[in-house]
Each structure stands twice: as structure tokens, then as C-alpha cells.
Amino acid sequence: MGPELTVPPIYSPIAPAIHPRHAEIDIRTAAWAETFRIGSEELRDRLVRQDIGTFAARILPEGREEVIALLADFVLWLFGVDDGHCEEGELGRRPGDLAGTLHRLLRVAQNPEAPMLTDDPLAAGLRDLRLRADRYGTSGQTARWVGTLREYFFSVVWEASHRRAGTVPDLNDYTLMRLYDGATSVVFPLLEMGHGYELQPHERDSTAVRAAEEMASFVITWDNDIFSYHKERKGTGYYLNALRVLEQDGLSPEQALDTAIAQRDRVMCLFMRLSAHLSQDGSPQLRQYLAGLASFIRGAQDWGISSIRYTTPDDPARIPSVFRDTPTDESPEPLDIPAVAWWWNLPTGRPGTVRPRSRTHGQQSKTLAQV
């Protein structure tokens, strides 16, 4: 299998933050998982120890507590689908059957009153999530949430086809799929719900705002692939990961790690420039939304280096406990990935060094213990 990879501190220009009631939210999410019997007993026992409520509290550090709880429960539910059905279950190798199951769940999300999957715990949990989304969001936000759930379901079926065949897609196809199967876009409507506002269509549906969302998804999922590489590589089953995709192109694991870090650094720099550019003339709601995307990025980073889901204490992963203030690659040139190269055609102001938002100086920023 080769030597262990040591992941160095990665670039994060976004300050850490967390909702003050994160511990209570984490406890309530564990209780929600037990109430709805999400996943098998063994899977549920793992999930409730992974600080998922704390993750949600990092995404919405100043959000409404009831929406943070909704987000936490939803993220745990997503892991019930992804871990239980796709990665560890038999459906993960039967894309046709998986598509049927997910379409039935989608109908529950669309119409929770529909008499479908009445004895299925995941369906019961999803009904609860949908009713709470209706309570805290607008009809438009709920519709977008259901629409992004469809995108996520579609992408995991595509991944299941590779799992069944044991194949690895090329970098371009993987990048496109990862924008959706990382379940990042399903969180975006909750960023609005969490602060009780709604983006106007001319901003929400603009090409530049969609690009900012996709950049956030890229950074979050690439970071996840970097932090989870140890766990996935040590597993006995099939796994699909940005580093594995890069290794398929002939890179060594060490070269793949360096390349993945450089790719996410370049996109992070572009995201910061685009966010600053959009904020100049954007509405207060758009500025809040862009700040929410940034909190999502940083929240995923802090959770990724602290949750036992990725630190794997029984076989410790060599991942960092701090972040660095400078990128390894801040080139203004587009990545050689056609699916996302168009991001660099957008007006983002003058390219250059992105200054960190955190209050620290030097090479590394705060540890989690200092948050």
C-alpha cells in the first residue's frame, strides 16, 4: 500500500467561528438519529459520535438555532444515505436499484404526505426534515432544497456505476460529479433559512453567484478528499477520491496530494476574489450569502481535522491541526479541468495575493482549541 501520507497544514483565509450552543445541538442531533432510527444500529452509533451538530454550528455560527438543528439532522441523514446505502450497502453496487430507492425518497421530499416507504426510517426522517424546512424557509427555498437533493441523488447513482465496475473516472468527470455528490449544494438553501432572508432571483440565479457556489463546493470536497484519504485508502471496499483520480493519471500518492492541495488553493484564491467583487455592488442579502459560503468552507475544514470520522483514533490519520495563511498556488490561470475552467472568465477584480481574514499572522492560524 505504500508509506503513510502526511497532510500538511492547508490554506484557509477564513476566520473560524462556531455557534455558542453547539454542544446542545450535537446532543439533540444524536437524539434525533435515535428517534428516527437512521441507519443500522452500528452505523448510527458511529454517526452520533462524529460531532455532526458541531459541524452545523460551524456552518451557521450566527444562525437561528432551530435551523442549525435542522441542518445537523439533515447532514446526519445524508450520511445515513451515503454510508448506509451507497458506500457500505448492497445498493451502492446496483445503480438501477439505488436509483429506484432514491426516487422514492425524492417523492417523500416532494410530497411528504404521499403514502410511500411508510415503514422506512430514512423516509420518516426525511418527512420530518421536509416539514421543518417548510416551517423555517420560504416555499422557494424548500423547492430549491428538493431540487438540490435530486442533483445529489443523481450523482451518487453515477458513482454507483463506477463502484459496480471498479472503475475510476477521469479528472474532468470526477470534478463535475464531485460538485454534487459531495452534498454541498443541498446545504445552500439552508444558509438563507438560517438567517431568515431570501436572495432575489436576479442575484441567486446569476452566473457569477452560481460560480461562487461551485467554487465553494470544489474547495469543500477537495478538502474532504484530502482529509479522508487515509480512512478511505485503509478501507477494504471501493473508494473514489480526488487523490485516487490523480494517481490514475500516473502521479505518486505524494504528487497527487501536492497537486490536489495546489488545485484547491488556486480555487480558494479565486473564490475570495470573486466574493469580494460580488460584494462590492451586491445587496445585503447577497453579502450575507457569500459570507455563509465562506463559513461553510471553514466549518467543513475545522470539522474535517477534528471529527473522529477523519482523524480515525484507532489508526490515526496524519492530518494537520492548524491551517496556513498563504496558498501554495495563487496563480490567476485556470485549472486544466474543462468542467470548471470557465470560472476564470468571470470578472473578479485584480488577481493577486488574497489576504487572510483571520486575526492571526505568520504561517499558521489558530488551532481548534483556540476557537
Instruction: Please list the pLDDT of the chain residue by residue as tens digits (371 residues).
Output: 456 899 999 999 999 999 999 999 999 999 999 999 999 999 999 999 999 999 999 999 999 999 999 999 999 999 999 888 877 778 888 999 999 999 999 999 999 999 999 999 999 999 999 999 999 999 999 999 999 999 999 999 999 999 999 999 999 999 999 999 999 999 999 999 999 999 999 999 999 999 999 999 999 999 999 999 999 888 777 889 999 999 999 999 999 999 999 999 999 999 999 999 999 999 999 999 999 999 999 999 999 999 999 999 999 999 999 999 999 999 999 999 999 999 999 988 545 434 444 333 333 443 333 33
- Distance, CA of 320 to CA of 195 (rounded, Å): 31
Q: Which string of b and e fits 227-264 if b means at least 16 CB within 10 Å?
A: bbbbbbbeeeebbbbbbbbbbeeebebeebbbbbbbbb
Beta partners for residue 11, in sequence order: 324
The pTM assigned to this predicted structure is 0.93
